[in-house]
Structure 1
């Protein structure tokens, strides 16, 4: 049925937000017109890629991310 069964989204994650954080997410949902789950998934994956695949200093013009900076992301 599916070309790659591992691509089926079956792993759930719970996330608790306060009213201010939820308002920011809801504003982004309203602005982009996408659904909340898709928006949060895209944001999560973008942050994970940024933490795991930092841009080399020669290309970014700065210093590489420190371990403490990556943990704070």
Structure 2
């Protein structure tokens, strides 16, 4: 049994954690950009579906809630 070669960078779980943080940052940027875009287009923001999904996305953000915010509000 040869010992496992030492990892040159970080262990995979640390890389995964960094990737998750990167995705979170990207996600926040997309939401901010969408929110800024919506400032100029409030026509859909008053719809009940949009309000519902905005609330969902604020309290428990998921891919589905984000997709629905983008679909119903913009």
Normalised TM-score (structure 2):
0.31
Structure with greater helix share of residues: 2
| Higher RCO structure, 1 or 2 (CA under 8 Å, sep 6+) | 2
TM-score (norm 1): 0.31
Larger Rg over CA atoms = 2
